[in-house]
Amino acid sequence: MELPAETNGGRKVLTIGLVVVLLLAFTIGGLLFWVSRKIDPSGDPGELVQSIEIPTGSSTDSIAGILAKADVISDAGLFARYVGLKGAGPWEAGNYTDFRVNSSFDQAIDVLDEGPLPVGATQVRVTEGVRLSEALAQIAEQHPGVTEDDLLLALGSGQVTSDYLPEGTSNWEGLLFPDTYEFSDDATATEILQTLSDEMSSNLDELGYERAETLRGFSAYDVLKVASLAERETGQPEEERGQIARVIYNRLDEGEPLGIDASILYGLGRDSGELTKSDLEADTPYNTRVNAGLPPTPIGLPSMAALSAAIDPPEGDWRYYVLVSNEPPSHLFTDSYSEFQRAKAQAQADGVF
């Protein structure tokens, strides 16, 4: 049997059909991409939300609305449907303090599953890298039962103890672990500070700081100083803490001044800002351009990442580093002074600092 010849009309219908199918595919693909980005936004979660109160009797829809208003999730309606599909909830009423901006739906659900703070409890967050004075201010601001004076008196009383506080030293800088804690509302200043001290000691034990002399050739307290310097100097990349720690050890081995601006600022009682010629010549024990060796104490509360980097830094012959980018903050590391000078000049020309 002879088939009829293909007509122009038939080809047009086929073409139109193909276009319709492709448009549907693109539309569906775009919709699926949009939904996936709502469920799991790109990038890491943002800053912690100070407090979110879930009222008694809140439905899933109302909880979704509360979270969306606080920018924890991106879409209340989609979140409510997602919760229904997962069979999650119901959740307790109360005060939640672990939500983060730009969370995925699953991350928000995890926080809800953990439940609110117990009645009569307060959550206290101490930020990584802050100075002791700032840490005490954070504690007093968040815990209703203590003041900064209470905390200072507790540290000075001798009732707060640490295995890593050198004998004859009364300066507690660097010896409290920065983290998120939960305390009863009637916790005393001594109880709060002892918890932070014990947490630091436990982490130092875990990392092997009791063997610091063998591992690094420095006392545990000196390695803690290195950790605090690396914490304050590091940029965005996690590995920079280890590289900065290695630079510090290499310069100590060579007997070279460390020249770390964060330490100079600490000695001047400042957190940041440009250092003038007179600042760089200031006669303080924390001026690591003028004085060889490590500063007399840590200069802040190092994170677990910095503590780990200081006790076990990567191998490398770096002796210099310079900030070369602000977005994100990152440094160039080198063992060449001329390369360091060129990179510094370029960074200054680019307006990095």
Beta strands 52-54 and 94-96: pairing type? antiparallel
The one-letter amino acid at 213: E
Q: Quote the pLDDT of residue 352.
A: 79
CB 329 within 8 A of CB 311: no
- Tokens, residue 214: 């063998």
Phi-psi region of 50 (alpha: psi -120 to 50; beta: other; left: phi over 0): alpha
Q: Look at residue 297 in the predicted model and tell me its pLDDT.
A: 97
Tokens of 272: 């940041």
Q: What are the helix (H) ranges across the chain?
A: 8-39, 60-69, 76-86, 105-114, 132-142, 148-157, 189-207, 212-216, 220-233, 240-254, 261-267, 277-280, 304-311, 337-349
pLDDT one digit per residue (tens) for the chain, 353 residues: 554 555 555 556 556 656 566 566 666 666 677 677 788 887 778 888 878 999 998 999 999 999 999 999 999 999 999 999 889 989 999 889 889 999 999 999 999 998 898 888 889 999 999 999 999 999 999 998 999 999 999 999 999 999 999 998 999 999 999 999 999 999 999 999 999 999 999 999 999 999 999 999 999 999 999 999 999 988 777 889 999 999 999 999 999 999 999 999 999 999 887 888 888 888 899 999 999 999 999 999 999 999 999 999 999 999 998 888 888 888 889 999 889 899 888 888 878 78
**Neighbouring-strand partners of residue 94:** 54
CA-based nearest residue to 202, from 164, 153, 168, 241: 164
CA 59 – CA 115 distance, rounded (Å): 15
Q: What pLDDT was estimated at residue 271? A: 83
Q: Provide the pLDDT for residue 104.
A: 93
CA distance 28 to 34: 10
The pTM score is: 0.77
How big is the chain by its Cα radius of gyration, in Å? 28
Residue 156 has a pLDDT of 94
Q: Which domains does the chain have, with CATH numbers?
A: 52-114 (3.30.1490.480), 121-207 (no CATH), 212-317 (no CATH), 319-353 (no CATH)
